[in-house]
Structure 1
Amino acid sequence: MIAFFLITIPTLIYTQAFRNYSNEFINIGVDARGLGMSKSIVATTNDVNSIYWNPAGLVGIKDYQGSLMHASYFAGIANYNHAAFAMPVDQQSSVGISIIRFGVDDILNTTELIDSQGNIDFNRIQLFSSVDYAFNLAYARNLPFRDLKLGVNAKIVRRIIGDFASSWGFGFDIGLQFERNNWYFGLMARDITTTFNSWSVNDDEFNKIKNAIPGQNQQAPESTEITKPKLQLGVAKNWRIGRFFNLLTELDLNVRFAKTNDILSSNFASIDPAAGFQIDYDNLVYLRSGIGNFQYITEFDNSKSLSLQPNFGVGFKYNGIQIDYALTNIGSVGNALFSNIFSVTIDYSFFRR
């Protein structure tokens, strides 16, 4: 229990005007298809999951679509879930809504385990959850310029740490897609107005853990945090191989405006490249792979080594139902265990035939 607070509370303590890393659960990604391709789908996404990857892709849907995803995080300690729904408004525009939940449930609260007389009473142990939510509302439209699409995503962020602290946040994303001669280009700007989170701390509950560990006094977090904008740029090409096979390749550049351990980094911005591949048989069976998360790791002798993250996935689509699987490290950190990701997408247009 104490270890949990040592991890959780410092993430709030050092909240300043701008954060290089804030609301990171939103950056995990959704949909096994995208995760299997190392998130390299900003230029080609065209279904209900475009709400997350690039809302401009929503223009590609022709009828009602729904999507569900589940993943376990840290060997089942946390759960990550996503649900989305989208529909066309007319021939030129579409709307969509989605929710992401990332949470650790049934955490033991032992702050009242020992009473004022020094007696241990296990009946005083309570359970609580640390949960993050992101609600997204997206709108996409074809622009007058041929083959150019625009999408906007408004998001509300809700973060809850039991009775100790909670926050509300809001922000906007904007995306563009352009297609010409089987070439695809995409731009996704996240948190373009910065995403603002306002924290509220329960002083009575926080004081119970303030001096939980001698010499490790915990300070109350700042009341606000502002997330810096991020950019994702992608270029893709669709190749026809024979009569039944198609090969989709995409290269993305993920840009943060901060100095990080990414393979290309400066005081102004850092760039993490990623590449994804998908081969399909007659748009029925899919095999995917990707590589990304290139990071410099500092070893014990202060030398640096370059690490990378491979990803794999498969998919199957039949009668309007698509089932996808990905093997990926959704934590995107070091030697964390790889996770099994499953997602289901349903296209109602098939059932209207």
Structure 2
Amino acid sequence: DGIPNTLSLYNSDGTINFDNVTEFSAADYAFILSYAKPFKVKKGQLLGGANIKVIHRRIGPFANSWGFGLDAGLQYRIKDWNFGLVAKDVTSTFNAWSFSFSEDEREVLELTNNEVPINSVEITRPQILLGAARRFQFGNVGLMPEANFIFTTDGARNTLLSADPISMDIAGGVEADYKEFVFLRAGVSQFQQIADFDGGENLKARPSLGVGFRISSLTVDYAYTDLGAEESTYSHVISLHLAIRPKAKE
């Protein structure tokens, strides 16, 4: 919220009028339908599933898009260990963008040497995640640390290991729960080399905190990311999860 729209900052005579500055919001919406099932194995438990997702993105009154994608994953559990493999945007996710600028707004963009957007398709390339976690139990309190390796396929990125077309990053976190009813979470991700004013580079990462509640088949999760960022950027992520199980056969 509160993004300033300065397209009308200048009057027709070239003078500046801050009263013409308005604000707009940018938001992403996602509808995800998931299906998962267990598979028979000799030891442990093997689970598999997939997501079909519909994504709607909106940037003020200027732009909006609709997109579709597919995710798939496997999880293997043995004793207190969990191992996971997730393939995001398996078929690549396509977002079709449409833009609606008035003639005056298009003229301002051109006069200020900005590119006038045209209707186009944004492609999100596949991403592979490998993860491992182990659960520890101390009475009513559970503790589960985890580590993840993230592989992207859209070219060189600012990550720990950068290459073209595949780059790799790592992420880690820990979850504590009480009777698997309330959950507290902390993590770190997005390790990047950030340039300083003196020309040097420092390794920085994005920390995050979270809390969750599970009541019967309903789970509510909240996460807060970009803690302490110098740019004062942050994200609130709220998730609702309802598990629907078929009735047991008699």
Q: TM-score range by the shorter chain?
A: 0.7 to 0.9
**Residue matched to 1:294:** 191
1:186 aligned counterpart, secondary structure: strand
What is the rounded CA distance, in whole Å, between the counterparts of 1:162 and 1:312 in structure 2? 29
Q: How does 1:175-324 map to 2 (within 5 A)?
A: 175-202=73-100, 205-212=101-108, 214-221=111-118, 223-241=120-138, 243-257=139-153, 258-315=155-212
**Residue matched to 2:248:** none
What is the rounded CA distance, in whole Å, between the counterparts of 2:234 and 2:26 in structure 1? 22
What is the rounded CA distance, in whole Å, between the counterparts of 2:57 and 2:187 in structure 1? 31
Q: Which amino acid aligns with 1:283?
A: E
Q: Which amino acid aligns with 1:182?
A: D
Match of 1:153 among 48, 51, 54: 51
**Residue matched to 1:169:** 67
The reply to whether residue 137 of structure 1 matches residue 25 of structure 2 is: no
Q: After alignment, is 262-271 or 160-169 more displaced?
A: 160-169
What is the rounded CA distance, in whole Å, between the counterparts of 1:263 and 1:197 in structure 2? 28
Give the unaligned 5+ runs of structure 2. Answer: 246-250
Give the unaligned 5+ runs of structure 1. Answer: 1-76, 79-103
What's the CA shift for 1:261? Answer: 1.1
> Structure 1 or 2: larger strand share?
2
Q: After alignment, is 332-341 or 309-318 more displaced?
A: 332-341
What is the rounded CA distance, in whole Å, between the counterparts of 1:211 and 1:343 in structure 2? 41
What's the CA shift for 1:296? Answer: 0.9
User: For the structure 1 residues 326 and 298, does the alpha-carbon distance in structure 2 shift closer, same or farther, using more than 3 Å as the test?
Assistant: same
Cα RMSD of the aligned pairs, angstroms, is 3.7
Asked whether the equivalents of residues 98 and 119 of structure 2 are also in contact (C-alpha less than 8 Å), the reply is: no
What's the CA shift for 1:317? Answer: 5.3
Q: After alignment, is 334-343 or 224-233 more displaced?
A: 334-343
User: For the structure 1 residues 299 and 344, does the alpha-carbon distance in structure 2 shift closer, same or farther, using more than 3 Å as the test?
Assistant: same
Q: How does 1:62-73 map to 2 (within 5 A)?
A: none
What's the CA shift for 1:138? Answer: 1.7
What's the CA shift for 1:335? Answer: 3.8
What is the rounded CA distance, in whole Å, between the counterparts of 1:128 and 1:339 in structure 2? 17
What is the rounded CA distance, in whole Å, between the counterparts of 2:26 and 2:211 in structure 1? 32
Asked whether the equivalents of residues 98 and 118 of structure 2 are also in contact (C-alpha less than 8 Å), the reply is: no
Asked whether the equivalents of residues 274 and 291 of structure 1 are also in contact (C-alpha less than 8 Å), the reply is: yes
> Structure 1 or 2: larger helix share?
1
User: For the structure 1 residues 291 and 164, does the alpha-carbon distance in structure 2 shift closer, same or farther, using more than 3 Å as the test?
Assistant: closer
Aligned residues: 238
What's the CA shift for 1:234? Answer: 0.8
What is the rounded CA distance, in whole Å, between the counterparts of 1:322 and 1:259 in structure 2? 37
What's the CA shift for 1:164? Answer: 3.5
Q: Percent identity?
A: 34
1:32-81 Cα offsets, whole Å, 9 max, x none, are xxxxxxxxxxxxxxxxxxxxxxxxxxxxxxxxxxxxxxxxxxxxx37xxx
- TM-score, with structure 1 as normaliser: 0.56
Asked whether the equivalents of residues 209 and 218 of structure 1 are also in contact (C-alpha less than 8 Å), the reply is: no
Q: After alignment, is 152-161 or 228-237 more displaced?
A: 152-161
- TM-score, with structure 2 as normaliser: 0.75
1:212 aligned counterpart, secondary structure: helix
What's the CA shift for 1:347? Answer: 7.3
What's the CA shift for 1:346? Answer: 6.9
Asked whether the equivalents of residues 187 and 207 of structure 2 are also in contact (C-alpha less than 8 Å), the reply is: yes
Asked whether the equivalents of residues 256 and 271 of structure 1 are also in contact (C-alpha less than 8 Å), the reply is: yes
What is the rounded CA distance, in whole Å, between the counterparts of 1:309 and 1:127 in structure 2? 28
User: For the structure 1 residues 166 and 348, does the alpha-carbon distance in structure 2 shift closer, same or farther, using more than 3 Å as the test?
Assistant: closer
Asked whether the equivalents of residues 329 and 338 of structure 1 are also in contact (C-alpha less than 8 Å), the reply is: yes
Asked whether the equivalents of residues 210 and 218 of structure 1 are also in contact (C-alpha less than 8 Å), the reply is: no
What's the CA shift for 1:217? Answer: 4.0
What is the rounded CA distance, in whole Å, between the counterparts of 2:235 and 2:97 in structure 1? 31
What is the rounded CA distance, in whole Å, between the counterparts of 2:167 and 2:68 in structure 1? 24
1:208 aligned counterpart, secondary structure: helix
